[in-house]
Amino acid sequence: MMAFVRQVLVIMAKDLRAELRTKEAINASLSFALVVLLLFSFAFDPSEETTREISGGLLWIVFAFAGTLLLNRSFARELNNDCLDALISAPISGAALFLGKALANYVLVLAVELIALPLFGVFYNVRWTSQFWQLMMVIALATWGMTVTGTMFSALTVNIRLREVMLPILNFPILIPALLGAMQLTSALVAGKPIAADNDAWLKMLIGFDVMYTAVSVFLVETVLVGG
């Protein structure tokens, strides 16, 4: 068990180090988030009231788009010099490789989100911090759901034609329940309403989504890596 945790952490540290040295994916993702945030200001009248009402949808569309750019690179990065084959033949389980990569992606996607969120507050003149910790919890849960399926599909699509296009086509429909829940909760929290009896079902659904897809991914990832 300890060995497994260490392997996961080694893979995660390797991915983070590789990304932080080049910063290619995270820079692209951040600037893309910024562009989408800017584009939304043309789509509607950015007064505080309207922005608050659609803040959940707006933020999660930004997060999902920006996250996809990061997730696309996760396995694609290993194609040079056949690193992926080396990783697969390394003496670690597919599950450790998957979880390490998923955690590294998680850190990167969260980082982009946590930069984009205050930018959103500044640009759209919205005070979003009144339910800060609950909002952080929702972001943490929904981002994990997005990362775990995204990392899995990143592995599925790494060797195929149209890789960059396929990942969002596969990932977004699967993510719809998680994104829907996150959007509902985020809009309420940004408006200053804490999670209460009328919307805590979304929270449970997010947790269920995370647990279920983490389990299925860990269970099936070996098949995907070897089958590829």
Partner 1 sequence: MRDKILYIIGAVALILLARDMYLITGFPAEANQGAIFKIIFFHVPMAITALTCAMVAFVASILFLITKNFQYDALAVAVTEVGLAFLAGNLITGSIWGRVAWGIWWAWDARLTSALVCWLLYAGYLMLRNAIEEPTQRATFAAVFSIFAFIDVPIVIFSIKWWRTQHPQPVFWGGGSFPPDWSAVFGWQMLAILLVGVVFTAVRLRQEQFQREIDSLRRMAHAL
Q: How far is the CB of 154 from partner 1 (least distance, A)?
A: 12
228 binds partner 1 (CB under 8 A): yes
Select 7 or 149, whichever has its Cβ closest to partner 1.
Answer: 149
Give how far Cα 42 sits from Cα of 38, 60, 61, 124, 186, Å.
Answer: 7, 18, 15, 12, 22
Q: Using DSSP, how many helices (H) and how many strands (E) does the chain show?
A: 8, 0
Q: Contact at 8 Å (CB) between 96 and 218?
A: no
Q: How far is the CB of 83 from partner 1 (least distance, A)?
A: 19
Buried b (16+ CB within 10 A) or exposed e, 28-57: ebbebbbebbeebeeeeeeeeeebbebbbb
Any contact of residue 61 with partner 1 (CB under 8 A)?
no
Nearer to partner 1, 47 or 159 (CB): 159
* Residues 24 and 73: beta-carbon distance below 8 Å: yes
- Provide, rounded to whole angstroms, the least separation between the CB of residue 145 and partner 1: 10
**Any contact of residue 57 with partner 1 (CB under 8 A)?**
no
Length in residues, the chain? 228
Q: Which of 46, 57, 121, 208 binds partner 1 (CB under 8 A)?
A: 208
Q: Does residue 60 touch partner 1 according to CB under 8 A?
A: no
Residue 197 interacting with partner 1 (CB under 8 A): no
Q: Which two tokens stand for residue 161?
A: 């034609």
- Interacting residues with partner 1 (CB under 8 A): 149, 152-153, 156-157, 159-162, 166, 169-170, 173-174, 176-177, 180-181, 184, 198, 201-202, 205, 208-209, 212-213, 216, 220, 223-224, 227-228
